[in-house]
């Protein structure tokens, strides 16, 4: 030791210095710490045997300020050692191991990844899911932070945004597309010069598809460094199970290195920035799905990879003996309302928002951010830990005794706070004021905050009730008794977001990565998760789905037609409702996961977007292209109508409810019809009718004065291209053969002042001047 300079305690993490050196600083109350250095060869080339190139014990006098350990590596040192990666080793912890933890494994303590490393290198695993190296590196191979500069690493110049600007769409104008970097791009047809499949760079090649669809925000499943082999299991049937989705973060400042097409951990950061730049160039915002509710380190039996070894009790919600609370359902709970964790999350968000120009964040199990911490509690505020007695919200569901440590003012560990300091800090941070915030407003500990997420002025919520109520009304028999709830969801959920929150607080979705796809929602009554290796016990049990008569694949044309109709209904409900719609990747082309509603583990076609259907022959290709056209059409129609995207809930002047007869809605629980008219300022009102029942109906249309008539925009009861008739709104209508027939249908409606809505279908009309559109003579057969 002793050959490193003292360095400075701020900023935390690795900081490039103007002289070519690097300052390193990490917060840990440990009493002995050493800095560990690797060359690229030693770490990456070392594979299962990644011995450090150098290690220096730091002196508490020189290298410690408060609970921050720090040192400075000179350019000379870096060059001489050819160092590219670093880590910290705690040689003397600040206290004994918690009683609940197993004995320390033999050998020296592990080298820990710096929580603020801007990139992570992983010994023994250059490629995503490379389980071949398992024998060498283990499920937890040595990982290390990348040094931002140094002789062995090319210094990155300031990133060139090439004059692009973040789109900054209004929240009510957003149409979100939820995707997974690898899932989106793994099957992307490669042309000459295309980027490597499964990478940030390949996302660029997927953007024209998104642009055609008309979405203007891309929400990415976790892209922070995770260990995709964490859940690795070789199943009986010979398949391997991984952590594909990535909801198990290892390093929050580091873009997932194995989503990078190049070598070197810093390349990932650059490619991530390039991806954002190319999205912005097309007017598409980038939203990151971030997982601050737990980490990859598991419960008290888990490995020490980063946080645990540095300051376990500050980063995790723990009982006095060291057991981890499990509000996340994933073994541990990030201790969001300790000052250290708060600052960490805030700095992390700033990094991604400022350095990578990320436009928004979706917080996984965000309710955990509202829970009070352990840490102050007994230990600090009151002198000794209070045990027994109250269980508060502290039960972890494992039958473990709830440790009730009192928090200032009578708040117990895990109690949801009225004004959680972290949520407040995120909401009010000046550097994040432009950033869109989405909460998944619940957690796995039973906290459900749909409609009540704190600091709600700044936050939209994943509206789980939208998902459930739309499914109930459209898929369950007799409208599921959900007419009233469905109507509220179509209005942006005024029951959930009253006052100033408004429809913009509602992130509407019917399907997402978790659960059935839209195709499966209309083809399966039950989950089919046997392949996951947990005897079909995992995944959501109550899916509110309808197989339309047969379970799974079928050759029955009637069943298939009904499924298609319901797919369109669900998509129409999503895109016609007030609030911000989110489309699940693949639903626009009928992607099926074969009835598996919990596909976190599959690095296979199950989770890959099937690009081939866009060009393949046969009914699968045709159906996929039809759905794509319908979806793109509905997105375009939404964008063309301000009355579908109000900042406020539609009031009496903006909405009018109808039924079989105009102005006579049926609000009985048995109702299967939801029809309404939205008034568009300046003309062009919209009429929508969902018939959730099994019988076709003829509805009286509301009167239109002033030389206007109702014209059909969409009819989900019809097959493409008659399901969406505003070809003019599509960038490129590859089914325009149907257009001559369209006019006739329109004329029929205009003549009779009524509209026919087939069973399980939806019509969308638009008020147009009488003289608009050409007329044709034939009528389609299906009226």
Contact 596, 527 (CB under 8 A): yes
Q: Does 434 bind a second copy (CB under 8 A)?
A: yes
Per CB under 8 A, 424 contacts a second copy: yes
Ranges within 319-338 binding a second copy (CB under 8 A): 338
580 alpha-carbon distance from chain centroid: 14
Judged by CB under 8 A, which of 83, 200, 327, 376 binds a second copy? Answer: 376
Residue number, 446 or 498, with CB nearest to a second copy: 498
**Residue 349 within binding range of a second copy, rule CB under 8 A:** no
End-to-end Cα, the chain, rounded Å: 86
Per CB under 8 A, does 234 bind a second copy? no
Distance CA(241)–CA(232), nearest Å, equals 5
Residue 429 interacting with a second copy (CB under 8 A) = yes
Helix (H, G, I), strand (E, B) or coil at 678: strand
Give the residue with the Cβ less far from a second copy, 72 or 180.
72
Identified binder of a second copy from the candidate list 136, 173, 230, 379, rule CB under 8 A: 379
Residues 186-203, buried b or exposed e (16+ Cβ, 10 A)?
Answer: bebeeeeeebebbbbbbb
Is 74 a residue that touches a second copy (CB under 8 A)?
no
Q: Which residues ranging from 497 to 556 are in contact with a second copy (CB under 8 A)?
A: 498-501
Q: Which is nearer to a second copy, 477 or 498 (CB)?
A: 498
The only residue of 79, 80, 97, 165 in contact with a second copy, by rule CB under 8 A:
165
Q: How many CB atoms lie within 10 A of CB 422?
A: 25
CB of 755 to a second copy, least distance (A): 39
Pairing of strands 68-73, 761-769: unpaired
The active-site residue out of 225, 311, 364, 588 is 364
How far apart are CB 145 and a second copy at their closest, in Å? 18
How many CB atoms neighbour CB 708 within 10 A?
18
Q: Of 556, 579, 575, give the one whose Cα is nearest residue 567.
A: 575
Structure tokens at 445: 């500990």
Q: Applying CB under 8 A, which of residues 139, 234, 301, 381 lies at the interface with a second copy?
A: 381
56: helix, coil or strand?
A: strand
Residue 2 interacting with a second copy (CB under 8 A): no
The conformation of residue 381, written as its DSSP 8-state character, comes to I
Q: Does 681 bind a second copy (CB under 8 A)?
A: no
Considering only 51, 79, 97, 428, the residue that binds a second copy (CB under 8 A) is: 428
Whether 440 is a known active-site residue: answer yes
Count interface residues toward a second copy (CB under 8 A): 61
For residue 409, state whether it binds a second copy (rule: CB under 8 A).
yes
Q: Three-state DSSP class for 38? A: strand
From candidates 389, 397, 408, 683, binder to a second copy by CB under 8 A: 408
Q: Computed from CA positions of residues 317, 321, 326, 332, in that sequence, does the dihedral angle turn out positive or negative?
A: positive
**Cα–chain center distance at 576:** 22
| Position 648 contacts a second copy (CB under 8 A) | no
Integer CA distances (angstroms), 112 to 5, 34, 109, 244, 431, in order: 21, 10, 9, 24, 30
- Which CB, 340 or 576, lies closer to a second copy? 340
Per CB under 8 A, the segment of 32-40, 417-425, 610-618, 736-744 that binds a second copy is 417-425
Give 511's contacts (C-beta < 8 A, 6+ positions apart). Answer: 467, 517, 518, 521, 570, 584, 587
Bridge partners (DSSP) of residue 39 are 83
Catalytic residue among 396, 440, 443, 723: 440
Contact string 262-301 vs a second copy (x = CB under 8 A):
----------------------------------------
Tokens of 570: 């669900």
Q: Which stretch binds a second copy (CB under 8 A): 203-211, 342-350, 476-484, 626-634?
A: 342-350
Closest Cα partner for 543 from 505, 574, 578, 570? Answer: 570
Q: By CB under 8 A, is residue 18 in contact with a second copy? A: yes
State yes or no: is 364 an active-site residue.
yes
Residue 314 is a binding residue for a second copy (CB under 8 A): yes
Spatial distance between the Cα atoms of 353 and 178, rounded to a whole number of angstroms: 19
Catalytic residues: 364, 440
Residues that bind a second copy (CB under 8 A): 8-10, 18, 27-29, 61, 65-68, 165, 314, 338-340, 342-343, 350, 353-354, 372, 375-376, 379-384, 407-411, 417-421, 424-425, 427-435, 454-458, 498-501
């Amino acid at each position: 030791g002793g050959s490193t300079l003292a360095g400075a305690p701020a900023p935390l993490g690795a900081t490039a210095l103007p002289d070519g050196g690097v300052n390193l600083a990490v917060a840990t109350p440990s009493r002995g710490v050493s800095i560990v250095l690797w060359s690229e060869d030693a770490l990456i080339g070392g594979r299962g045997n990644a011995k450090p190139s150098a290690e220096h014990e730091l002196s508490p006098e020189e290298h410690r300020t408060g609970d921050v350990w720090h040192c400075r590596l000179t350019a000379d040192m870096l060059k001489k050692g050819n160092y590219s990666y670093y880590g910290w080793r705690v040689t003397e912890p600040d206290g004994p191991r918690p009683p609940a933890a197993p004995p320390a494994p033999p050998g020296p303590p592990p080298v820990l990844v710096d929580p603020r490393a801007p990139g992570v290198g992983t010994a023994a695993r250059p490629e995503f899911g490379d389980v071949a190296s398992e024998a060498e590196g283990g499920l937890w191979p040595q990982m290390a932070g990348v040094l931002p500069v140094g002789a062995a690493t090319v210094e990155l110049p300031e990133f060139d945004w090439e004059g692009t600007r973040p789109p900054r769409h209004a929240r009510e104008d957003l149409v979100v597309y939820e995707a997974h970097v690898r899932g989106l791009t793994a099957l992307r047809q490669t042309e000459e010069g295309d980027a490597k499949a499964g990478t940030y760079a390949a996302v660029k090649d997927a953007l024209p598809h998104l642009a055609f669809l008309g979405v203007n925000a891309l929400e990415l499943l976790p892209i922070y460094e995770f260990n995709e082999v964490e859940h690795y299991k070789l199943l009986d049937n010979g398949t391997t199970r991984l952590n594909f989705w990535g909801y198990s973060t290892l390093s929050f400042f580091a873009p997932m290195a194995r989503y990078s097409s190049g070598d070197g951990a810093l390349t990932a950061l650059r490619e991530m920035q390039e991806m954002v730049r190319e999205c912005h160039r097309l007017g598409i915002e980038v939203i990151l799905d971030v997982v601050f509710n737990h980490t990859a380190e598991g419960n008290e039996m888990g490995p020490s990879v980063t946080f645990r070894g540095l300051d376990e009790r500050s980063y995790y919600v723990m009982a006095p003996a060291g057991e981890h609370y499990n509000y996340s359902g994933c073994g541990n709970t990030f201790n969001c309302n300790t000052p250290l964790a708060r600052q960490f999350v805030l700095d992390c968000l700033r990094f991604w928002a400022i350095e990578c120009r990320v436009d928004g964040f979706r917080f996984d199990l965000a309710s955990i951010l509202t829970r009070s911490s352990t840490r102050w509690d007994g230990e600090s505020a009151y002198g000794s830990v209070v045990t027994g007695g109250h269980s508060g919200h502290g039960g972890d569901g494992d039958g473990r005794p709830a440790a009730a440590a009192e928090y200032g003012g009578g708040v117990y560990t895990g109690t949801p706070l009225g004004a959680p300091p972290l949520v407040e800090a995120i909401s009010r941070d000046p550097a994040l004021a432009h950033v869109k915030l989405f909460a998944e407003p619940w957690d796995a500990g039973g906290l459900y905050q749909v409609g009540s997420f704190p600091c709600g002025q700044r936050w939209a919520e994943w509206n789980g009730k939208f998902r459930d109520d739309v499914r109930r009304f459209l898929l369950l028999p007799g409208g599921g008794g959900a007419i009233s709830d469905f109507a509220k969801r179509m209005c942006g959920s005024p029951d959930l977001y009253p006052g100033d929150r408004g429809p913009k607080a509602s992130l509407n979705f019917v399907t997402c990565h978790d659960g059935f796809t839209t195709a499966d929602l209309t083809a399966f009554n039950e989950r089919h998760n046997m392949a996951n290796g947990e005897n079909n016990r995992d995944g959501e049990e109550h899916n509110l789905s309808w197989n339309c008569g047969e379970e799974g694949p079928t050759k029955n044309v009637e069943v298939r037609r009904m499924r298609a109709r319901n797919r369109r209904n669900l998509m129409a409900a999503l895109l016609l409702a007030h609030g911000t719609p989110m489309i699940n990747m693949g639903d626009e082309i009928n992607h099926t996961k074969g009835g598996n509603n919990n596909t976190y583990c599959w690095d296979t076609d199950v989770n890959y977007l099937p690009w081939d259907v866009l060009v393949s022959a046969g009914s699968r290709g045709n159906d996929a292209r039809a759905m794509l056209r319908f979806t793109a059409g509905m997105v375009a129609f939404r964008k063309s109508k301000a009355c579908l995207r109000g900042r406020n809930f539609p009031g009496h002047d903006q909405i009018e409810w109808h039924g079989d007869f105009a102005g006579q809605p049926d609000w009985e629980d048995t109702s299967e019809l939801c029809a309404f008219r939205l008034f568009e300022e300046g003309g062009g009102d919209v009429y929508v009718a969902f018939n959730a029942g099994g019988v076709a109906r003829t509805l009286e249309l509301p009167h239109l004065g002033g030389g206007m008539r109702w014209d059909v925009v969409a009819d989900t009861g019809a097959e493409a291209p008659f399901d969406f008739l505003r070809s003019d709104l599509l960038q490129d209508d590859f089914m325009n053969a149907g257009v001559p027939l369209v006019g006739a249908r329109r004329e029929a409606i205009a003549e009779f002042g009524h509209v026919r809505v087939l069973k399980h279908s939806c019509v969308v009309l638009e008020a147009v001047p009488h003289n608009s559109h050409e007329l044709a003579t034939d009528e389609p057969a299906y009226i």
